[in-house]
Chain A
Amino acid sequence: MKQISTIKLGLARGTLEIKQFNRQRESVVFTILFPVILLFIFGSVFNDSIAPGVTFSQYFVAGMIASGLVNSGFQQLAISIPIERDLGTLKRLRGTPMPATAYFIGKGIQVLYSMFLQLTLLLFFGTIFFGLDLPTQPSKWFTFTWLIILGTASSTLLGIAFSVVPKSGRGASAVVSPVVIVLQFFSGVFFIFTTLPSWMQHFAAIFPLKWLTQGMRSVFLPDSFATQEAAKSWEINKIAIILIAWLIAGVFISLKTFKWTKE
């Protein structure tokens, strides 16, 4: 019997997910504009120099881009998948030959899409109003690209993995949002990481967001700032290793624990 390629089905799922995402105006506006609004608030309130040639708002934009990966992947999926489970969307899909992997790929594509929209706005307003300098070296863009890809993939899969935690779609937001907000505070998004208590730094270092923010700083802040980091360096290799480790963990947990129905 002929088999339909899972990749092809994943792309079809992705197209459909984007279509549905675009038609939910509130969620588009919220997901895309929320980081921009935060950028304006924090960027306007804290505009001091934190190092020669580096302002807090530049530091903050890098953090917001990293947060965007966690928001549009982990947070959005860990909230929306329990709702899909409640509505019976997942139960219906489970009854078809469509494999779970295609569903996951579709989610990843949708996250990448919403990430792309967010990034465009953040970079646009960041450069115009908050002194963000777009990198000129190709190597920085290369780092940026793999950070986005690894970040999206691991954030998507961890969101899928976490989607089994909320008991219902209704309560999902209350379960998931605090996790994300606490991680943002601990990971150096709202505060300069090195000024946080060391137990907080150690705790944050377990999770991907801290490494994503650090990676984004390596892209958008001058190299001279590397000495201000906790390890006196950007730790690019370590960032890649930790993100890949979380990605692999995400794949295994998702495939093992994913629930199509409430029972």
Chain B
Amino acid sequence: MLHPLVIDVSNLTKTYGGKTAVNGINLQVHKGEVFALLGPNGAGKTTTVEILEGYRGRDSGKVSVLGFDPNAKVSKLAERAWRDQIGIVLQTTMDALDLTVRETLTHFAKYYTNPKDSNAVIESVGLTEKVDEKVRTLSGGQRRRLDVALGIIGRPELLFLDEPTTGFDPEARRAFWELIRNLRDEGTSILLTTHYLDEAEALADRVAIINNGEILEVATPKTLGGRQNSKVEISWIENGEPRSSLSDTPTATVQELAARLGGEIAGLTVARPTLEDIYLKMIGENS
């Protein structure tokens, strides 16, 4: 890739009271990229992201986020200038309950040197109808969308999204994906953590699988774990019985089947393993 790095991490480690949370991670995210960090609970995702966001210190390793070391003891002004360029959507927050959506967003806009238009942001997250409602009256999914709105109001170059769609219904999740794609099209780089493999597949240019504090693999969703070369499952119905077989050469297998069964194959599906299958296999082998 030719684009410059927005995140550059090498040999990052972090231990809590003897327990290693992050064990020598290397991570590069390029400008304009949507990068997903996948892994089970306790794998070290949140620790890693919070080190990048400047919430936590580290034990060793190098970290550069937009060319800035989040843990460096620099001037407050340099840190403010850095924070002006990043947006953070944390996991569940329950604040500002007595303010309206509009009040909250226009207030946060004041923190940034070049904020987006509040109305446009409210519209883009689909909260226009709730704009004058108190935050306490919002549903879980609506509140999450407000969290995202607060994360992008400052026109960030780099956006951190920590499990952004937890609690969304399918429709809201699709709308949210559209929002993320629009942000990417505007040139925003995005680091996403999620539990939803379909979300990673729909959004991410590249994914990293993290388990026990280590990165198992970094790849595109299509090629992770040798997915593009893995055996394909072919299933069909023969004599009223469901049948299936795994094949390295699915085209040939289907042709054979068609010849044997004479024409149309009943109940035919040809499926490569889903990202979730690959993920579960990788995590299972590693544990």
> What residues of chain A have their CB less than 8 Å away from a CB belonging to chain B?
1-4, 9, 12, 16, 19-20, 23-24, 84, 87-89, 91-92, 94-99, 261, 263
Contacts and interface: CB of A to CB of B under 8 A. Distances in A.
Contacts of A87: 93-95
Nearest to A23: B98
Given A16-B107, A95-B83, A89 B96 contact: yes
Interface stretch (B108-116, B124-132, B199-207, B273-281): B108-116
Given A4-B113, A96-B83, A16 B94 contact: no
Nearest to B136: A23
Contact of B108 (A4, A24, A96): A96
A19 B106 CA distance: 14
Which of A20, A84, A91, A95: most chain B Cβ within 10 A? A95
B150 interface: yes
A97 B90 contact: no
B19 interface: no
B154 interface: yes
29 contacts: A1-B113, A3-B77, A3-B80, A4-B111, A9-B110, A19-B99, A19-B103, A20-B98, A23-B99, A87-B94, A87-B95, A88-B94, A91-B90, A92-B88, A92-B90, A92-B93, A92-B150, A95-B53, A95-B55, A95-B83, A95-B88, A96-B108, A96-B154, A97-B84, A97-B111, A98-B111, A99-B76, A263-B55, A263-B56
Interface of B: 53-56, 76-77, 80-81, 83-84, 86, 88, 90, 92-96, 98-99, 103, 107-108, 110-113, 150, 154
Contacts of A89: 93, 95-96
Given A19-B103, A20-B99, A98-B111, 17 more contacts: A3-B77, A4-B110, A4-B112, A9-B111, A16-B103, A23-B98, A23-B99, A88-B90, A89-B93, A89-B95, A89-B96, A92-B90, A92-B150, A95-B53, A95-B54, A97-B84, A97-B154
Given A12-B107, A97-B111, A97-B112, A91 B93 contact: yes
A97 B110 CA distance: 10
Contacts of A88: 90, 92-95
A100 B189 CA distance: 27
A109 to B, nearest CB: 14
B151 to A, nearest CB: 8
A3 B83 CA distance: 12
A101 B84 CA distance: 17
B150 to A, nearest CB: 7
A92 B90 CA distance: 7
A3 B111 CA distance: 10
Contacts of B54: 95
A84 B80 contact: no
B80 A99 contact: yes
A263 B14 CA distance: 14
Contacts of A4: 110-113
B81 A1 contact: yes
Nearest to A90: B95
Contacts of A3: 77, 80, 113
Contacts of B53: 95
B111 A96 contact: yes
Which of B81, B83, B86, B154: most chain A Cβ within 10 A? B83
